[in-house]
Structure 1
Amino acid sequence: MRRMPPTRFVTDASLAEVARRLRQFGFDVELHRGARLEELLEAASRDGRTVLTRSARRPKRWAAVAMLQVGGADPAAAVRAVVAAAEPSGGPLSRCSHCNHPLRVRSPFEAHGEVPGRVARRGGPLWSCTGCGQWFWLGTHTEKLREWFEGVLGRPVAWPESPPPPAPHRPPIAPAP
């Protein structure tokens, strides 16, 4: 199967867990809770998205709209199918798993009062969602997530790393007399 270029998806609540995992991997997946297939197809046509669905049904009126059918009973199998078929629009941890907006890198100073103090003091990378404002950081939870993706995909996954530690402070060299 030839892979699709970076693909933006739209899906319904039946694939909410799959949508969340795909967002964590870097896919742009819009979730329309309670939408019928025809409503998803209309949204996909209007917004240039591909419908991600469990349904094998395809109304003739929407034949030109791209669809990718996946099973919904096993989220891991569905994620594997999407990753095999399409390229994500960003890297892992580049989109909000809650609302799908892009994440932006933030400084520990900006995080004051937004994240636990130990997280800000640790000095690792921090991100916040440009949509809902949720904060994200690397920790044991993201390591477990990376391991989950590697187990599902059967291969290593490139993952955001902590920035290198700051260089030690050295006093300026005094000019020679």
Structure 2
Amino acid sequence: MNGPEIRVDVAPGLHLFVPPARRAGATALTTDGAATLGHVIESLGVPLTEVGALVVDGREVPPSHIPAAGEHVAVRAVTRPQRVPGAPLRFLLDVHLGTLARRLRLLGVDTAYESTDIGDPALAARSAAEKRVMLSRDRGLLRRRELWAGAFVYSTRPEEQLRDVLDRFAPELHPWTRCTACNGLLRRATKDEVADQLEHGTRRTYDVFARCTACGRAYWKGAHHDQLEAIVERALSGSAERG
């Protein structure tokens, strides 16, 4: 690039996306004079899904803004909680986020998940068709223009991933209402209705069951219930603190 020189100041929360040399205050950047500011920011490594505002010399501008020589650009992180207008809040997760998908479903959050690698174009198309927020650690996927909306998952630890998503989007929580296997809605079921899925010990020990209205899977308070209950309680407590 040999066009106008601008100065870019990336918010600390976005520093992991940019080279270390560009993390300490505003740094000079030469553009080609034709690229949009959104393209320039993405060329630094920052997905636009993570940008809350682009402020040029004190005024907010859209990503389509063409930078002029001498401009000072402040790249801010998204404001939390982030609101996604135009559709009910629903998520789509890629193949690498299976545990996060199951935990979001446990909390009653509408969460689609691709258990196989169907490719970035297909994921982006599904996000757009179903108006779902794409959650991924794949920066290339989050740069695809056809996405309905997207968000980078910052941690590799499921408990931190869940906490971050809940803090960022503040979805309504309805624990124990969705199938963790397929995302279908659960309903109360009698023991007879799910008898074909129960071992003898389970039939003898438990009396309260639920069944997925989509895939038919049966649920009851089994050996792992305390662990799941702890996840739910932490999520509900965090939601109450956020107000």
Q: For this structure pair, what is the TM-score category when the shorter chain's length is used for normalisation? A: 0.7 to 0.9
State whether structure 2 residue 125 is matched by structure 1 residue 61: no
The alignment-based identity, stated in percent, is 27
- From 100, 107, 110, the equivalent of 1:28 is 110
Inter-partner Cα distance in structure 1 for 2:212 and 2:225: 16
Q: Does structure 1 retain, via aligned residues, the 8 Å contact 2:100–2:161?
A: yes
Q: What is the match of residue 54 of structure 2? A: none
How far is the alpha carbon of 1:89 from its aligned partner? Answer: 5.9
Structure 1 residues 157 and 104, CA, compared in 2 at 3 Å: closer, same or farther?
farther
Moved more, 42-51 or 90-99: 90-99
Matches within 5 A, 1:133-172: 133-151=216-234, 153=235, 155=237
The Cα of 1:44 is off from its aligned counterpart by: 0.9
SS at match of 1:127: strand
Q: Which has the larger radius of gyration?
A: 2
What's the counterpart of residue 166 of structure 1? Answer: none
The change in CA–CA distance for 1:154 and 1:129 in structure 2 (over 3 A counts) is closer
Higher relative contact order, structure no. (Cα contacts within 8 Å, ≥ 6 residues apart):
1
Q: Residue 92 of structure 1 aligns to a residue in which SS?
A: coil
- Does the CA-based 8 Å contact 1:8-1:89 persist in structure 2? no
Q: CA RMSD in A?
A: 2.9
Aligned letter for 1:125?
A: V
What letter corresponds to residue 112 of structure 2 in structure 1?
Answer: E
Query: TM-score, with normalisation over the residues of structure 2?
Result: 0.55
Provide TM-score, normalisation by structure 1. 0.72
Distance 1:119 1:87, change over 3 A: farther
Pairs aligned (count): 156
From 182, 196, 204, the equivalent of 1:99 is 182
Within 5 Å, which residues of 2 pair with 1:1-80?
Answer: 1-4=80-83, 7-32=89-114, 33-57=116-140, 58-59=142-143, 61-62=145-146, 65-80=148-163
Cα deviation 1:44-101 (Å, max 9, x = unaligned): 1111111111123333633x62112113511111111111123546511211111111
Structure 1: 5+ residue stretches without partners: 159-177
Distance in 1 between the 2:236 and 2:212 partners? 29
Q: Deviations over 1:99-148 (max 9, x none)?
A: 11111211223233432455445564311112222110123412221113
